[in-house]
Amino acid sequence: MRKIEEYLKNYLKKELSNIEKTPQCLDQEVLLDYLERKLGGQERKDVEEHLSQCNFCLSQLNLAFEAKKSNIRSIGGKVPSGLVNKAKTLLKNDKSAIGRGGGSRMKKNLFLAGAIIFFIISFLLPKYFMQCLVATLVLGIGWAFESENGRTFIMVLDSWRRHSHDEDDEISNRLKDRFKSPHL
């Protein structure tokens, strides 16, 4: 029977030798759902129909199964440590972006803290009331610009102002047209 197996193997390998992914190939999620038996009756049948004709997807299924069953600590060979360290440093680059975000938050908080402090001082030191109020106003505006909500609020105000100007223009044009009308 070994020869029969050989013939069958050779035939299958030859027929399905181009393990190419095609646009009809199964989506990764579908393949994994099939393996985990999460697909319904017809979906399962459709997947099996494809698997019977596509060696790429069959090999993907086989790979997924083997990965599932294996001990990830001992599967395959050792990975060069340089590769692993390089992969770890991928997040180091991202972390700097997060650092920048953290700095902006601190700046925003400083503006707010400063505005509150000067506001309190303006009542404690009546002699410098106006100066402290001005400082409060300046720091408050700084906080508003730093904060996203503040920026959104300014955008809304600006849009309302422009919209109301547009409405005024429209009303005045209508009035002009009315006076120009021959019916009068």
Under the rule (CB under 8 A), what is the footprint of another protein? 1, 3-5, 7-19, 21, 28-29, 31-32, 35-37, 45, 48-49, 51-52, 55, 58-70, 72-80, 83-84, 86-88, 90-92, 94-95, 98
Instruction: Quote the least distance from Cβ 148 to another protein, whole Å.
Output: 20
Scored b (16 or more CB within 10 A) or e, 108-139 reads beebbebbeebbebbeeeeeeeeebeebbeeb
**For residues 111 and 141, what is the distance between their CA atoms, to the nearest angstrom?**
9
**For residues 9 and 1, what is the distance between their CA atoms, to the nearest angstrom?**
12
**CB nearer to another protein: pick between 23 and 80:** 80
**CB nearer to another protein: pick between 24 and 181:** 24
**For residues 16 and 97, what is the distance between their CA atoms, to the nearest angstrom?**
47
Q: State the CB neighbour count (10 A cutoff) for residue 103.
A: 10
**CB nearer to another protein: pick between 65 and 160:** 65
**DSSP H stretches of helix in the chain:** 2-15, 28-35, 41-51, 55-69, 81-88, 90-124, 129-146, 148-180
Instruction: Quote the least distance from Cβ 105 to another protein, whole Å.
Output: 16
Instruction: Quote the least distance from Cβ 92 to another protein, whole Å.
Output: 7
**CB nearer to another protein: pick between 76 and 126:** 76
**CB nearer to another protein: pick between 3 and 127:** 3
CA torsion, ordered 168, 169, 174, 178, to nearest 10 deg:
100
Instruction: Quote the least distance from Cβ 170 to another protein, whole Å.
Output: 45
Instruction: Quote the least distance from Cβ 8 to another protein, whole Å.
Output: 5
